[in-house]
């Protein structure tokens, strides 16, 4: 897992061949963009624009992926995102190939609690169990872009 400021993203562009294009999209993102999926490099690199309301941690499932990694950027609002080693989590919904997701119960061991807000990003890989969309205090309206990048090119 990586957590940093979008203004420092150029330091990470060499970590994956799709990162330069992904971060260019994120830097130029227009908040008026409609919700939906946008292919940046076919299905290899996809931007998902989403608007939603945060919820209590008890109402948000943990997840991890196998084929794609995530770059998550919040453009409006503020949310917590739990983070834990995927191997420490208990499966509640087995891996669904078509959606590249496996769901987990809340961990019983301590985890990291990331704050995602305007100006920063988080990168998650398969070992990174994560719980996005958790409210800070009360529910908040969120505008987020999740970049899905194929791990193996």
The total of structural domains in the chain comes to 1
Full domain range(s) for residue 8: 2-150
Q: Say whether pLDDT at 90 is over 70.
A: yes
- 57 and 114 in contact (C-beta within 8 Å)? no
- 116-145: string of b/e by CB count within 10 Å (b at 16+)? beeebbbbbeeebbbbbbbbeeeebebbbb
Which pLDDT does position 92 carry in this prediction? 96
Q: Compute CA 6 distance to the chain's CA centroid, rounded to the nearest angstrom.
A: 14
Domain containing 10 — which CATH number? 2.60.120.370
Question: Mind listing the pLDDT tens digit for each residue in 10-50?
Answer: 999 999 999 999 999 999 999 999 999 999 999 999 999 99
Phi-psi region of 51 (alpha: psi -120 to 50; beta: other; left: phi over 0): beta
Q: Say whether pLDDT at 64 is over 80.
A: yes
* 109 pLDDT tier (thresholds 50, 70, 90): confident
What is this structure's pTM?
0.95
């Amino acid at each position: 897992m990586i957590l940093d400021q979008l203004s420092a993203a150029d330091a990470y562009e060499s970590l994956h061949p799709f990162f330069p294009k992904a971060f260019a999209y994120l830097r130029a993102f227009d908040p008026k963009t409609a919700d939906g999926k946008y292919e940046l490099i076919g299905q290899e690199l996809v931007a998902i624009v989403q608007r939603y309301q945060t919820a209590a941690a008890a109402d948000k499932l943990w997840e991890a992926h196998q084929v794609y990694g995530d770059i998550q950027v919040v453009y409006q609002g503020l949310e917590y995102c739990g983070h834990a080693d995927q191997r420490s989590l208990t499966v509640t919904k087995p891996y669904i190939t078509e959606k590249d997701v496996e769901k987990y119960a809340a961990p019983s061991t301590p985890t990291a609690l990331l704050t995602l807000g305007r100006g920063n990003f988080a990168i998650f890989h398969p070992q990174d169990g994560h719980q996005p969309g958790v409210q800070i205090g009360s529910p908040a309206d969120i505008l987020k872009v999740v970049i899905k990048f194929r791990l193996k090119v």
